[in-house]
Structures are given as C-alpha cells and as structure tokens.
Amino acid sequence: MSSGLGQADVLWVRTDWLKKLGLSEPKTMDDVQKIAEAFVKQDPDGNGKPDTYGLGATKDIFGFFGALEGFFNGYHAYPNIWVKTGDGKLAYGSVQPETKAALQKLQDMYKGGLIDKEFGTKDATKVKDAANAGKLGLFYGYFWNAGWLLDGKKADAAMDWKPIALPSVDAEPAKAQVPFAIGTYYVVKKDAKHPEAAVKLLNFDLEKLWGKTAEPEVYNADKSGNAVFEYALLYGEAPRKNLDAHLNVVKALSANDPAALNAEEKSYYDKIVSYRGGDVNFWDSEKMYGPEGSLAVIEGYAKDGAHLDDAFYGAPTQGMTDNNATLGKLQLEAFTRIVMGGSIDAFDQFVGQWNSLGGKAITDEVNAWQASQ
C-alpha cells in the first residue's frame, strides 16, 4: 500500500511570473488558459524572445510530472479510474463525455501555442528540464514535484513555484482523482515453514523508515542520495504518512519545538528551518511540508471531500489482464492525436474501439464485482 491521496494532482504555478505580469492565482479553468496564454505571449522571462510555454505536458499525458489528470479533473473528467454513474453502475472515466470536453480544451490550447508543439516526444524529464530552464510556467503533478524544481531555484533565486488546488471549469469544485493505492501484492507459499517472515520484514521496513526507532539516513536515502528504500524486499507505507508528517512539522514550526517529531519529520523540520535561514538547498522541503506546501493542498482535499477515489478496488479482472495493455496504447494514441489537432470526433471512435477490444467485457466484470460486495 502507498498513499492514494499522495498521488492526487496539484497545479504548480510560477508565482514570480504571475507577479511580474500582474496576474492573480488561477481559480477557474478559464484562468488557467488565460495565465498560460500570458506566459507565452507576454515574455515573462524578460528576454524579448517568444520562448516560453504556458502549460507543461508529457508525451504520456498521464503520470506524475507534467501529466494532465488534474487538468481533466478540472472538467470533472476522471481518466484511468472507475467512477459511479447516475444509475449506480461503474464506468471507466476515460470514455465519458467529460473527458471529450477536456480533450477539446487541450486541443484549443495546443493550437494556440500554449502547450509545447513537441510535447508528444517529451517525457516527464524533458518537461522538468524546461521548468528548471525557466521556460515553463504551469504544470500539474504530485506533491513531491518540488524536489524536481530545486535545480531551477538554485540557478535562479527569483524563480518561485506555488502548489494550488485544482481549478474548476464551473461552480462545482474540482475533485482530484485518487488512484487505487495498492500496487503490489506479496504472496507466500501456503506450506512455507515461516510465512510470518513476510510480515516481520514489512514491519521492519515500516519501523526503520518511520517508526520510533527509525533511521531514515540509513534506510531511506544514503549520503549520496541513493533511494535505499527502493531495494527493500517488502515495502509499503501508511496511507497518511506524508500528510501527517506535514501537519506535525507545521505544528512544530509554529511552536518552534520539534521535540514531538519522529526522525523523518525532524529532518523536514530542520530543512525548512535551514531554508528560512537562507539555505536555498532546502527550498523544496518548504514547498512540500511547509504551511503552504503541496501537502497542505492535499490535506485540503481530504478535509473538504475534494477528491474522488477509484471506485474499483478489487484484484485485476481477467479482462484487464488480457486487454489493459492494448487498451492503454489505444487511449494514448487517440488522445495524443486529438490534442495535436485531430478531429474531436475521433474520441467517439476511440470509445467504440475501447468497448469492442475488451472494454465492454471489463466493464461487465467490474460491475459484477461491485454487485458481489
């Protein structure tokens, strides 16, 4: 298990560009488009060249940095997760009418030059490079994306980014989609002599990373920055670990007293104190765990109910096992063509193909699962 909420999007905005152009933070999807246009046409980097982009987008369309789940959510569309329809049935978000509307808007923005014309060839790392090079002003992504922006901040002290809750297209607040949080299942052979060893290993992992005897400098990342935790034989994390760490750190900062923090939380506290004392190397900790950081935005989703969980949380169905790879490729190709100027009617063709190539069968399986609960 990981944190599903931790994989919800926030909107990252270059606030120094907003201030330079006299713009307010975006509250609506119209604001997002207007700000993106200003970032392209009003020379926010001041070099006199038309070399900046409004909205970052990765060739994968969905993911963790420069991905567009949050954009779609602003149109009440929920691609890649299962949602409840008005009749109580479950339906796949990618094939709903709201997704078509979001794709139409992305196409408009692409035609207007607000999205990199070459986005279809650029992965998340390329989007990150554009942001750090001072060529990008908006992108959707995860709470920890601030860590990928640190190089840009070091290179340009004036650069500043702020995480913002998802804007909506209308009066109905946007809900951030939350994927199913279990990505891995560990299986123990039924006649294993010590099946409890798996649980002991997992408990050890959790304890040494985040428990009372935690040693994050040993088990999280070493002095060279290598992610040691990725090599754990069994790995998981408490769903609210990062959100609770944020709340505890903010409380400690307010009281100027870190005594109640665990080892991991104390490291964030120390980094934020160092950043506030002038060490730019820890700017990203402030932007994640500080009082106005990305985790504060996500905690707001939790408190306000501004999130939508994947409605299907069973084991993968046979249809998913057989067809998801094909359906995922079909979706990426169709969505990319539409964004880059193809007919919006191609969406309806995509829906028909999705159903005929296994989507309808999967939908039936998912609803059979729901009926069995």
pLDDT of amino acid 127: 98
- Distance between CA atoms of 237 and 100, rounded to whole angstroms? 35
pLDDT of amino acid 217: 83
CATH 3.40.190.10 fits 5-180+335-348, yes or no: yes
In the chain, where are the structural domains located? Answer: 5-180+335-348, 185-234
The half-sphere exposure of 271 on its side-chain side, counting CA atoms within 13 A, is 20
Interstrand relation of 53-55 and 136-141 (parallel, antiparallel or unpaired): parallel
Distance of alpha carbon 172 from its chain centroid, rounded? Answer: 21
pLDDT of amino acid 200: 95
- Distance between CA atoms of 227 and 360, rounded to whole angstroms? 41
Residues of the chain with pLDDT under 50: none
Look up the pTM and report it. Answer: 0.94
pLDDT of amino acid 204: 92
- Distance between CA atoms of 98 and 96, rounded to whole angstroms? 6
- Distance between CA atoms of 215 and 213, rounded to whole angstroms? 7
Here the tokens at position 48 are 């006199």
pLDDT of amino acid 226: 86
